[in-house]
């Protein structure tokens, strides 16, 4: 279970059945389309198909090669998903003939470029929870207010890790204790290890934030430097920034070291703290933040590192309770690279796998 900065007891009554009635995700494009060029952009609604399934169907029905069909992000198989794909404009006649019970083309646009991974602002989600008793519905309302005010930690979700202890295999691969000839599989395993290190670092930072929140300056002085205690105790946000943290403007921007005079910008959601994705050529946190980060900094050969937002601010959060049906409907927007499953786990304070 993810280490949760919001210290509420697990909410046990909600049930979640991931299908097209209870789970809907809609992709939000990164930019407006140019209405000229050689690429056709299709806004598609699909049910119970992966993005790869979708591409295969369009390739078979149009004659376009799979590698010529672009997409901005991979979407879930189970549920209703609305996403964009790009395909060469010359296949428009074949596209107009496509009929499939699980696919509907909602919009067509012309654009000058092929869609690439990451070409999206984020995703808007609808999730319906069932068998939610009135007491738990009130708890959900209260927690959502905290999410709106402060945001949430940006853990990697379980989708990143796959099965069969992928993170450990990735570690073994890097350390030379495992050989994988398939480059695609090897990359996925290393990604899993990289993500696990990030999650472990973030969990420790949340533990530290709780400690700084719960103990007095005198009690903290036995374990932490005076300047760190004084710096943290000035902060109102539940996630405590440290000297040397690397920040980014939110929701996008370059890395820069935290200026102690700009702590309020984090509380105002103008900037956010970042965590390390291990690799080469990546900026590192310094000072006390660097001491924590160093514990999770493992060199990953042949890969450039990066910084990932460790804290995000979900938008358009809405929670509506149908007391007659004991159903709780959630709507929220997450930036790209963030996980609805993490949002749910933090909200319910229990593993999604238990639902």
Q: What is the largest CA-CA distance in the chain?
A: 74
- Does the annotation mark 76 as catalytic? yes
Residue 40: enclosing H or E segment and its boundaries? strand 39-47
Angle at the Cα of 239 from the Cα atoms of 234 and 241, rounded to 5 degrees: 60
67 φ, ψ (degrees, to nearest 5): -70, -15
CB 249 within 8 A of CB 273: no
Angle between the 287-294 and 183-214 helix axes, to the nearest 10 degrees? 130
Catalytic residue among 48, 53, 76, 316: 76
CB 151 within 8 A of CB 314: yes
Pairing verdict, β 80-88 and 23-29: parallel
Q: Which candidate, 339, 154, 332, places its Cα nearest to that of 248?
A: 154
Torsion sign across C-alpha atoms 197, 199, 203, 208: positive
Q: How far is CA 274 from the centre of its chain?
A: 13
CB 191 within 8 A of CB 174: no
CB under 8 Å to 157, separation ≥6 — which residues? 339, 340, 341, 342
Give the C-alpha distances (Å, rounded to integers) separating 194 from 93, 301, 310. 44, 12, 14
Active centre residues (catalytic): 76
């Amino acid at each position: 279970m993810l280490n949760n900065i919001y210290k509420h007891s697990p909410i046990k009554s909600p049930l979640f059945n991931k299908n097209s009635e209870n789970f809907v995700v809609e992709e939000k494009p990164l930019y407006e389309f140019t209405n000229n060029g050689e690429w056709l952009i299709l806004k598609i609604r699909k049910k119970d198909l992966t993005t790869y399934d979708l591409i295969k169907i369009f390739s078979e029905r149009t004659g376009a090669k799979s590698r010529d069909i672009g997409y901005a992000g991979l979407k879930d198989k189970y549920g209703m998903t609305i996403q964009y794909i790009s395909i060469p404009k010359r296949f428009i006649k074949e596209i107009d003939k496509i009929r499939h019970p699980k696919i509907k083309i909602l919009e067509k646009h012309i654009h000058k470029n092929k869609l690439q991974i990451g070409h999206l602002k984020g995703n808007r989600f609808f999730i319906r929870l069932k068998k939610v008793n009135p007491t738990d519905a009130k708890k959900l309302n209260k927690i959502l207010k905290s999410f709106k005010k402060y945001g949430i930690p940006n853990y990697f979700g379980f989708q990143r890790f796959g099965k069969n202890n992928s993170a450990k295999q990735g570690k073994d691969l890097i350390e030379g204790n495992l050989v994988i000839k398939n480059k695609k599989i090897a990359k996925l395993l290393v990604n899993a290890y990289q993500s696990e290190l990030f999650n472990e670092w973030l969990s420790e930072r949340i533990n530290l934030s709780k400690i700084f929140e719960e103990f007095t300056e005198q009690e903290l002085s036995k374990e932490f430097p005076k300047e760190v205690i004084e710096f943290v105790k000035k902060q109102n946000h539940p996630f405590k920034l440290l000297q040397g943290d690397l920040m980014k403007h939110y929701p996008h921007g370059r890395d820069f070291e935290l200026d102690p005079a700009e702590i309020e910008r984090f509380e105002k959601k103008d900037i956010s703290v970042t965590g390390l994705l291990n690799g080469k050529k990546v900026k590192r946190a310094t000072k006390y933040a660097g001491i924590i980060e160093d514990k999770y900094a493992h060199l990953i050969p042949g890969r450039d590192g990066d910084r990932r937002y460790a804290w995000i601010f979900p938008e358009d959060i809405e929670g509506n309770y149908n007391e007659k049906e004991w159903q709780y409907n959630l709507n929220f927007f997450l930036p790209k690279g963030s996980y609805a499953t993490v949002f749910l786990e933090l909200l319910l304070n229990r593993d999604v796998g238990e639902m």
